[in-house]
Structure 1
Amino acid sequence: MGNEVVSGVLAIGSGIAIGVLLFVPFVALSYRRRGSLTFGRSLLWIAAAVYFCAIWTYTLFPLPDPDALVCIAANTDVWQAVRDVQGARERGHAFTDPATLQLALNVLLFVPLGALVRVLGSRGLPTAIAVGVAVSLFIETTQATGMWWIYECSYRVFDVDDLLANTAGAVVGSIVGICVPQRARGVARLPDSDEARPVTKPRRLIGALCDVLAAALVSAAISVVVQLWLEYVADDHEAVLDGAFASTIGAAVPAIIWLVVIAASGQSVGDLCVELEYRAEHRKGLLSTAFVRVARFVGGIGMFYALTLLPDPFGASAWVFAGGAIVALLVTPNGHGLTGLVSGSVLVDARGEVSADVSGADDEKSGG
């Protein structure tokens, strides 16, 4: 597999990993800053994560073998690229010469950066230039120092022409970003972000995904911490190999967290992210509220992790429960799922009294 393909795979893989790790806070921030979540804007942020990973993978990888390291001198001549392109033109293949292609690629590499500064950062040309210079200079310095002295000398060229070409690319990208509508830019709070919106199945599914993903990440993180503690503090290598204790704690912690969050707010972590909550339709009072909150825990991801704590073969009931929860989520009118079926409650926007959109139309008002 070629180096370019390896770099591309690394960039896409690491970008998706970052997207998964940041998905839950991204959804929560989107609903508070922009009132909703849109497919286009989500895709743009994922593309941004992949892009920033690609910058590093394509400019710093592959790492050389220290025993076969070849030191490369820096180029500080700002006119070298001009002379290279001019020489290629004189030879009759200006557009196919490696020097010309290298210059063009260095410009194109930073076009997305300039566009992202304007679209996602809502900043203009001066900021794009400053960011372009800073990022390019950091990359070139990393190359010049051999990955900050990890290697004894530079294994890639520190090239001042790359710095200029990258900055030019950021300028071009900033100009291109003007084409994106103003409302779709930036992360500032929109004036209508606090307005209640209809509850739709896509919105409910996003909330459920946030619950599943957040709980899985918490469980995995806790399990890793417990395994490290067993290995390096308790010095219990057998328990590490067995993994049962870490799995038990890893399942118990998210179950407890979701129970506490729901008991305190009436909403799961996913509900909080997408601004949804269950409310009793015909009953009021403390007992009714408590019943709905119990039902919310019983019908959600917290119950799944609680069931996995049961001894075999009863622990398998967690997966039966998960299957039933998924079916209920998909077939109920607005995705109110098991919680709504058990408690008779309805899903509403936590910011107001707007409930189900019977038309099933997407609730995402924000553009881009």
Structure 2
Amino acid sequence: MLESYLFPIRYALLTFPLAALLFTLPFLIVQYRKYGYVNGFRGFAMYALLLYMITAYYLVILPLPDTVHTCTGPGKSYIQPVPLQFVNDFLRETRVRFDQPSTYLLLIQERAVLQVVFNVLLLVPLGLFLQYYFRRSGWQTVSAALVLSLFFETTQLTGLYGIYDCPYRIFDVDDLLLNTLGGWIGYGMGRLFASRLPDIGQLDRNVDLSSRRVGYIRRFVAFQIDWVVLLPFAAFLLVVGRPLYMLAFVLIYFIGVPYATNGYTFGKYIVRIRLKGQHEHIRLQELLMRYGLLYAAIGGLHVLTALAAKQAVPDDMAVFLALFTLGIDILLGFHLLRRLYRRDKGLFYEAISRTKHIIV
């Protein structure tokens, strides 16, 4: 029976890297926006919670049946509505003799006992997380455990939401009771161990955001958000054959908007950073120098190379442009790698324009 629990856990560990990758961007956005930086312990806790939730879900639904046709005939009940039915199951199946202590070790092999233990333990981590990390009260934690358990049981009762003809596991009221009990136990454990764990409320007490440097990951997140906004319009202008209009649109966004807002774009605003020049208000010439080099020179070179490959231009000219662009990209790659390992992480166009990002 132990193998039936290890099988979903193995699948959870295999799935976790992909789930973590999808989780990372929204996690970073929330952390930057809410706290102004990413705390390592907070990150560890949230990824641990993600792994736990994946594991708990897989334990409920796996292993899956070999066929979607799971109906076994008329008259079968898929609901167990009797509270504490597990007690009767245990008394009916057990090999333990209460007048013979030597048989007590058989308890760890009893199906009914293992199911009770599993159903209690399933939501213990949830209760601990809710109490310790999210600072939920006892009734809120118990309510959340009950709702999550009801979600699990409904998942089983609906045959994984209609994928299977009939439920392949029963809706058991005892599972609701035992899962909820596990959430309550986890809440108590959170209170018990709170004094031995970092105080979540004090993680940011001594953090000086003004002394922190804006890293490449944060800048890349802002860049992604900005291009989510820009891409539909830029792609449309490029498809209809207006590459110069597209370039102008991009420059207006990255130069005009920061000039009007003193260093912000939508992406920078979301992750709480802004551009700063040599004066209180960033100047137009600083933005023109910064983004002219980045988008007009480098970006324009890539657009020109792509157009040359599609248009009727001499092959040797297209090859020259492609090789020249590749050489520029290699130089930029080496430049970026060098800056990754230096205290001053400013890139060439920042040094020339004398602009930088600051946390706000």
**TM-score, length-scaled by structure 2:** 0.69
Q: Tell me the C-alpha RMSD between the 2 structures.
A: 4.3
Residue type at the aligned position of 1:55: A
Give yes or no for the alignment of 1:80 onto 2:94: no
Give yes or no for the alignment of 1:97 onto 2:102: no
2:20 maps to what in 1? 16
2:350 maps to what in 1? 340
Q: 2:218 aligns with which of 199, 207, 210?
A: 207
C-alpha deviation, 1:127, in angstroms: 0.4
Q: Deviations over 1:88-140 (max 9, x none)?
A: 54454112333322222222221121122223432111001000001101210
**Secondary structure in 1 matching 2:80:** coil
Highest Rg: 1 or 2?
2
Distance 1:293 1:285 in 2: 14
Distance 1:133 1:182 in 2: 28
Residue type at the aligned position of 2:277: A
**Secondary structure in 1 matching 2:276:** strand
Residue type at the aligned position of 1:333: R
Change (3 A) 1:209 1:67: closer
Change (3 A) 1:307 1:17: farther
Change (3 A) 1:335 1:58: same
Q: Deviations over 1:323-358 (max 9, x none)?
A: 1452354255342333431223455443xxxxxxxx
1:291 maps to what in 2? 285
Change (3 A) 1:149 1:274: closer
Give yes or no for the alignment of 1:280 onto 2:277: yes
Equivalence map 1:153-232=2 (5 Å): 153-178=166-191, 179-180=193-194, 183-185=199-201, 196-200=209-213, 203-211=214-222, 214=225
Distance 1:64 1:269 in 2: 47
C-alpha deviation, 1:167, in angstroms: 0.8
2:48 maps to what in 1? 47
Distance 2:295 2:130 in 1: 37
Change (3 A) 1:149 1:19: closer
Q: 1:127 aligns with which of 118, 136, 140?
A: 140
2:337 maps to what in 1? 327
Change (3 A) 1:326 1:63: same
Report how many residues are paired. Answer: 318
Residue type at the aligned position of 1:28: Y
* Residues 292, 343 of structure 1: 8 Å contact kept: yes
Distance 1:27 1:303 in 2: 34
Distance 1:73 1:302 in 2: 65
* Residues 290, 355 of structure 2: 8 Å contact kept: no
Distance 1:56 1:268 in 2: 39
Change (3 A) 1:349 1:153: closer
Give the number of the structure with larger relative contact order, counting CA–CA contacts within 8 Å between residues 6 or more apart. Answer: 1
Distance 2:206 2:202 in 1: 15
* Residues 64, 155 of structure 1: 8 Å contact kept: yes
* Residues 29, 271 of structure 2: 8 Å contact kept: no
Residue type at the aligned position of 1:343: S
Question: Bigger CA drift: 341-350 or 132-141?
Answer: 341-350
Change (3 A) 1:8 1:331: closer
Change (3 A) 1:53 1:214: farther
Distance 2:304 2:221 in 1: 25
C-alpha deviation, 1:38, in angstroms: 0.4
Q: 1:309 aligns with which of 300, 303, 318?
A: 303
**TM-score, length-scaled by structure 1:** 0.68
Residue type at the aligned position of 2:55: A
C-alpha deviation, 1:155, in angstroms: 0.8
Change (3 A) 1:209 1:345: closer
Percent identity of paired positions between Structure 1 and Structure 2: 21
Q: 2:33 aligns with which of 26, 29, 35?
A: 29
**Secondary structure in 1 matching 2:112:** helix
Distance 2:45 2:10 in 1: 23
